Structure 1
Amino acid sequence: MRLRSKIHLYSSVLFAILLIVMNVSTYYMFSTLSVNNELDRAEAQTLQIANAMRQVAGEIPTQDLLRGYVPVDGMIRMIGPNGTSLAPVTSMSQQDLSKQKAVYDTTKRVQVIDDLDQRYVIVSIPVIWSDGEVMNIQVTESMQSTMDTLQVLRVVLIVVTCIALIPVLFSIRLLSRVIMKPISAMTLTMKEIRRSGHFKRLELQGQSKDELMEMGMTFNDMIQLLENNYKKQEQFVANASHELKTPLTIIESYANLLRRRGLDRPELFNESIEAIHSEAIRMKEMTEQLLLLAKHKEQWNISMETLNLSEVAMGSAKAFRNAYGREIHVDGQQEVYGYSDEKKLKQLLFILLDNAQKYSDDDIVIEVGSLEGEGYIRIVDHGIGIANDKLPFVFDRFYRVDEARNRQAGGVGLGLSLAVEIAEAIGVRIELHSVEGEGTTAEIWIPREVFKIS
C-alpha cells in the first residue's frame, strides 16, 4: 500500500473512531441525564400525589382519589399491608398495566422496568392512611416520550456522523496530497538524477517554515553536498591518476634507459637507480597517505588522554632534528596540558614540520602555550610563505602552490589534507597564517578539557 493511501486510510479510520466515540459519549450522557430527570420528576410527582391524597383521606372515596390523580400515560394503585389493593386506575392508553401483580413495599422505591414493549418508571411510596394503616401508593408512568426523544437523538447523531465523514474524507485526501507533494517531487527528482546522471534540486515555493519546507531544503543541501563530493572525487581520481602516472613514467623511462645503455654506460647506473628509488619512495608515501585518507576514522584506533604538550613538542622536535638535520627550537611554557591522541598529534606535528623544512632554510621555531582554556603548539618558519589568494586552498588534496617547486621538493599535495583529517579525528583544530616572502605560522589548538569524539 502506498504511503498516500496509508495516510488517507489511517487518518479516516482514526477520525471516524474519534467521531463515533464522541457521539456515543454525548448520547450516553444525554440519555443518563434524561432518565434521571424523568425519575426525579416521577418521584416528586408521586410524593405530591401521596401528600394530597393523605390530606383528604376519609372525605373523598379512595377510588375517586385514584381516578383524580391517575397519570396521563400510566397507572396508579394503592396496596394495603395484607396485600389487598383497590382496583388500579389506568389511563386509556395504558389499560394493560392493570395486569401487573401488586407488590406491597414499606420503603420508598423508584425503578425503571420494561414491560409490554415499553419502558416505565415505578414510584412506590408508603403513606400512613387515615385509619392508621401504612398504605403503599404506587404510580407507574410511561417513559415513551423520553425514549422517543432518545431515538430521535440517535438518528440525528448517526446522520451527523455520516455527513461529517464526507468532508473529512475529502479533506484528509487533500491533506495527504499536500504532505506527499514534496515527497513525490523528491522521488521524481531522484529518479531524474539517476536517469540523467546530473544533480538536480527541488524547486521550493513560498516562505513556509514547516517540516515539509525544511525537508525540501535539507534535500537540496544534501544534493549540494553530494554534488560537491562528486566533483571532489572526480578531481581526486584525476589528480591521483596524474600523480601516480608521473613517477611511473619516470621509473619506466629510467628502466628502459638502463636496459638499453646500462651495460655500455656505467655512469648512468647510479643516476637511474637514484631516480627510480626516489620516485618509488614518493609513490609509497603518497599511497600510504591515500590509504589513510580512505579509511574511516573509527579504524584509526584513536586513544584520547591528557598530554603534556611541551613534552610532545620537544620529542617531535628531537626526532625531526635527527632525521633531517635541521635546527628546531622549542620555546614557551613547560607545563601545558591538552586532551588528545599522542601518536596522531605527533603525526600532525611531523606533517607541519615537514612543510616548514621544505619551504624554508632558516631555523624552525616551535612555541607551546595556552590561551582561554586551550593549549596550542605553534610552528613558525621564515620561508617563502603563501600568497593570500592561495592560502584557502592549501588544505585541498593534491593542491600545490607552486607545481615546479613542490615537485622538486618531493611533495604530492596530500600532507595538509591529511593533517585536517587527523585534526578532526583527535578533536583539535589547525589555523594557518602566512605572508608571502616572510614565512608561515601553523597553529594547533588542543582543548584542555576532556570531551567525547563523535
Structure 2
Amino acid sequence: MKLKNKIHLGTSVLLIVIVILMNTAVYFAAGIMLKEADLERTATEARRIMTGVSNPAVAVSSAELLRAYAPADGMVRIILPDSTVDGVSASPGAIDLREREAVYETAEQRSVLEVGSARYARVTSPVIWRNGDVASLEIMENLQATDRILSILRIVLIATSILAVIPAVLSARVLGAVISNPIASMTQTMRHIRESGQYEQIKMNSKQNDELNEMAETFNDMMEQLKKNYVKQEAFVQNASHELKTPLTVVESYANLLRRRGKDRPDLFDESVEAIHEEAVRMKELTQQLLTLARHDESWNIQKEPVHVASFVKEAAESFEKAYDRRVDVKVYASITVWTDRAKLRQILYIFLDNARKYSDKEICLLVEKNEIRVIDKGIGIPSGDIDKIFDRFYRVDKARSRKTGGFGLGLSLAKDIGVAIGTDVKIESKEGKGTTAIITLSDISEYMATMNEKTE
C-alpha cells in the first residue's frame, strides 16, 4: 500500500473512531443526566404527595385521596407493611402498572423500570398512614418525554457524525497527498537521476517552512555534494592515471631498450636499471599516498597522547637532517604540551619539511611560538593566485612541475586530511620569489582538559 493511501486510511479510521467515541460518550452522559433529573423530579413529587396524604381522615377512602395526586402518565399507590395495597390511582395509559407486585420499602428508593415498551421513574418513600402506621408511598412516572429527547439526540449525533466524517475523510486524503507528493517527487527525481546519470534537484516552495521542505532542501544539498564529489573523483582518477602513465611509459621504454641492447652495452644497462628503479620508487610513493588519501576518517586509527612540542620538533628536525643532509634551524619561543597523535603530527611536519627541501636550496627554519609550529623556507614561493588551490589533490604550481622534485601534488592534500583527523589546522602563507611559511596550529592541552571537564560536568 502506498504511503498516501496509508495516511488516508489511518487518518480516516482514527477520526471516525474519535467521532464515534465522542458522540457515544455525549449520548450516554446525556442519558445519565436526564435519568437523574427525572428521578429527582419524581422524588420531589413524592415528597409533595407525602405532605398531602400523611395521616388521612378515616372518612376519606384511600383511592379517592390518591386520585388527586395521580401523575398524568403513571401511578401512585400506598403499600402497607404486609405488602398489601391500600389505595391506588393510575392514569389511563398506565393501567398495567396496577398488576405489578407491591413491595414494601422502609426507606426512600429510586430506580428506573421498564414495563413493556415504556420506561418509568419509580420512587418509594415511607409515609405516616392511618392509625399512625408507617406505609410505603410508591409513585411511578412515564419517561416518554425523556426517551423522545434521547431519540432525537441519537438522530442528531448520528447525523453530525456522518457530516463530520465526510470532510474528515476528504481532509485525510488531502493531507496524504500533501505529505506524499514531495516524497513522490523526490523518488521520481532519484529514478530519473539513476536512468540519466544527471544530478537533478527538487523544485522547492519558498513559502513553505516545514519538515518536508527541509527534507527537499537536504536532498538538494546532497545532490550538489554528490555532484561535486563526482567531479572531484573524476578529476582524481584522470590525474592519477596521468601520473601513473608517465612512469609506466618510462619503465616500458627502458625495458624494451634493455631487451634490444642491454646485453651489448653495459653503460646502457646501468642507465636503464637506474631509471626503472627511480620510476618504480615514484610509483610506490604515489600508490602509498593515494591509498592514504582514500581512507575514511574512522580508518586513521588516531591515538592521542600528551606531546611536548619543543622536544618533538627538535627530534623531528634531527631525523630530517640525517635523512636528507639538510640543515634545519630550530627556534623555540614557547613551551607547550598538546594532546594529539604524535605519529600523525610528525607526518604533517615531514610533508612541510620535504616541500621546503624540494623548493628551496637555502636553510630551513622551524619556529615554535605560542601554539603554532612554523616551517619557513626562502625558496621560489607560490603565486597568490595558486594559494587557494594548493591543498587540492594533484594540484601543482607550474613552476614546481619539474619532475626532479618528485612531487605528485598529493602531499599538501594529505597534510590537510591528517590535520582534520587529529584536530589540527594547517595553512600556507607565501610570497612568490621570497619563500613559503607552513603553519601548523595546535590545541594546548590545558584547553583540551578544560573542554573535557566541561563535558564531564
Q: Aligning the two structures, in what range does the TM-score lie when normalised by the shorter sequence?
A: over 0.9
Aligned AA for 2:231?
A: K
For the residues of structure 2 that align with 1:403 and 1:215, how far apart are their CA atoms? 47
Q: Per the alignment, do residues 234 and 28 of structure 1 end up closer, same or farther by CA in structure 2, a change over 3 Å counting?
A: same
For the residues of structure 2 that align with 1:343 and 1:57, how far apart are their CA atoms? 120
Aligned twin of 2:195: 195
Aligned twin of 1:19: 19
User: 2:330·2:366 contact (CA, 8 Å) conserved in 1?
Assistant: yes
- Spell out, residue by residue over 1:25-66, the C-alpha distance to the aligned partner (whole angstroms, 9 max, x if none): 222222221111112111112112212222865575432221
User: 2:381·2:433 contact (CA, 8 Å) conserved in 1?
Assistant: yes
For the residues of structure 2 that align with 1:130 and 1:18, how far apart are their CA atoms? 59
Per-residue deviation, 1:115:
2.4
Aligned twin of 1:314: 314
For the residues of structure 2 that align with 1:67 and 1:203, how far apart are their CA atoms? 86
For the residues of structure 1 that align with 2:52 and 2:72, how far apart are their CA atoms? 17
For the residues of structure 1 that align with 2:119 and 2:8, how far apart are their CA atoms? 43
Aligned AA for 2:431?
A: V
User: 2:359·2:400 contact (CA, 8 Å) conserved in 1?
Assistant: no
Q: Per the alignment, do residues 116 and 429 of structure 1 end up closer, same or farther by CA in structure 2, a change over 3 Å counting?
A: same
Aligned AA for 1:296?
A: H
**Percentage of pairs with the same residue:** 45
2:403 to 402, 407, 423: 407
Aligned twin of 1:339: 339
For the residues of structure 2 that align with 1:28 and 1:314, how far apart are their CA atoms? 90
Say which SS state the counterpart of residue 105 (structure 2) adopts. Answer: coil
For the residues of structure 2 that align with 1:208 and 1:406, how far apart are their CA atoms? 56
Per-residue deviation, 1:155:
2.1
User: 2:62·2:88 contact (CA, 8 Å) conserved in 1?
Assistant: no
User: 1:189·1:200 contact (CA, 8 Å) conserved in 2?
Assistant: yes
For the residues of structure 2 that align with 1:407 and 1:70, how far apart are their CA atoms? 124
Aligned AA for 1:85?
A: V
Aligned twin of 1:110: 110
User: 1:332·1:369 contact (CA, 8 Å) conserved in 2?
Assistant: yes
User: 2:12·2:168 contact (CA, 8 Å) conserved in 1?
Assistant: yes
Q: Per the alignment, do residues 378 and 28 of structure 1 end up closer, same or farther by CA in structure 2, a change over 3 Å counting?
A: farther
- Residue 423, structure 1, aligned to residue 419, structure 2: yes
1:385 to 365, 381, 384: 381
User: 1:57·1:129 contact (CA, 8 Å) conserved in 2?
Assistant: no
For the residues of structure 2 that align with 1:307 and 1:119, how far apart are their CA atoms? 94
Per-residue deviation, 1:220:
0.8
Say which SS state the counterpart of residue 102 (structure 1) adopts. Answer: coil
Say which SS state the counterpart of residue 69 (structure 1) adopts. Answer: coil
User: 1:79·1:85 contact (CA, 8 Å) conserved in 2?
Assistant: yes
Q: Per the alignment, do residues 84 and 263 of structure 1 end up closer, same or farther by CA in structure 2, a change over 3 Å counting?
A: closer
- Spell out, residue by residue over 1:410-432, the C-alpha distance to the aligned partner (whole angstroms, 9 max, x if none): 00011111112211211222122
Q: Pick which of 217-226 and 294-303 moved more.
A: 294-303
Gaps of 5+ in 2: 453-457
Q: Per the alignment, do residues 41 and 301 of structure 1 end up closer, same or farther by CA in structure 2, a change over 3 Å counting?
A: same
Q: Per the alignment, do residues 436 and 78 of structure 1 end up closer, same or farther by CA in structure 2, a change over 3 Å counting?
A: same
Aligned AA for 1:84?
A: T
Say which SS state the counterpart of residue 344 (structure 2) adopts. Answer: helix
- Spell out, residue by residue over 1:212-238, the C-alpha distance to the aligned partner (whole angstroms, 9 max, x if none): 111111111111011111111111111
- Spell out, residue by residue over 1:134-157, the C-alpha distance to the aligned partner (whole angstroms, 9 max, x if none): 121111112222122112212221
User: 1:73·1:142 contact (CA, 8 Å) conserved in 2?
Assistant: yes
Aligned runs of 1:272-283 on 2, under 5 Å?
272-283=272-283
- Residue 63, structure 1, aligned to residue 63, structure 2: yes
Q: Per the alignment, do residues 59 and 292 of structure 1 end up closer, same or farther by CA in structure 2, a change over 3 Å counting?
A: farther
Q: Per the alignment, do residues 107 and 278 of structure 1 end up closer, same or farther by CA in structure 2, a change over 3 Å counting?
A: same
Aligned twin of 1:185: 185
Aligned twin of 2:327: 327
User: 2:55·2:129 contact (CA, 8 Å) conserved in 1?
Assistant: no
Per-residue deviation, 1:173:
1.0
The number of aligned residues is 448
Aligned AA for 2:426?
A: I
For the residues of structure 2 that align with 1:81 and 1:44, how far apart are their CA atoms? 23
For the residues of structure 2 that align with 1:165 and 1:233, how far apart are their CA atoms? 56
For the residues of structure 2 that align with 1:401 and 1:229, how far apart are their CA atoms? 23
Aligned twin of 2:267: 267
User: 1:336·1:368 contact (CA, 8 Å) conserved in 2?
Assistant: no
1:437 to 433, 439, 448: 433
For the residues of structure 1 that align with 2:274 and 2:121, how far apart are their CA atoms? 118
Structure 1 length as normaliser, TM-score?
0.93
Q: Per the alignment, do residues 178 and 403 of structure 1 end up closer, same or farther by CA in structure 2, a change over 3 Å counting?
A: farther
User: 1:386·1:434 contact (CA, 8 Å) conserved in 2?
Assistant: yes
Per-residue deviation, 1:82:
2.5
User: 2:62·2:87 contact (CA, 8 Å) conserved in 1?
Assistant: no
Aligned runs of 1:42-441 on 2, under 5 Å?
42-54=42-54, 60-129=60-129, 131-333=131-333, 335-370=335-370, 375-402=371-398, 405-441=401-437
Q: Pick which of 73-82 and 403-412 moved more.
A: 403-412
Say which SS state the counterpart of residue 385 (structure 1) adopts. Answer: coil
User: 1:400·1:406 contact (CA, 8 Å) conserved in 2?
Assistant: no
For the residues of structure 1 that align with 2:136 and 2:402, how far apart are their CA atoms? 120
Per-residue deviation, 1:406:
4.4
Aligned AA for 2:153?
A: L
Q: Per the alignment, do residues 140 and 216 of structure 1 end up closer, same or farther by CA in structure 2, a change over 3 Å counting?
A: same
Q: Per the alignment, do residues 298 and 206 of structure 1 end up closer, same or farther by CA in structure 2, a change over 3 Å counting?
A: closer
Per-residue deviation, 1:332:
2.6
User: 1:106·1:136 contact (CA, 8 Å) conserved in 2?
Assistant: yes
Q: Per the alignment, do residues 108 and 406 of structure 1 end up closer, same or farther by CA in structure 2, a change over 3 Å counting?
A: farther
Gaps of 5+ in 1: none
Q: Pick which of 343-352 and 55-64 moved more.
A: 55-64
Structure 2 length as normaliser, TM-score?
0.93
- Spell out, residue by residue over 1:157-193, the C-alpha distance to the aligned partner (whole angstroms, 9 max, x if none): 1221122111111111111111111111111111111
Q: Pick which of 359-368 and 218-227 moved more.
A: 359-368
Q: Per the alignment, do residues 154 and 305 of structure 1 end up closer, same or farther by CA in structure 2, a change over 3 Å counting?
A: farther
Say which SS state the counterpart of residue 380 (structure 1) adopts. Answer: strand
Q: Per the alignment, do residues 287 and 78 of structure 1 end up closer, same or farther by CA in structure 2, a change over 3 Å counting?
A: same
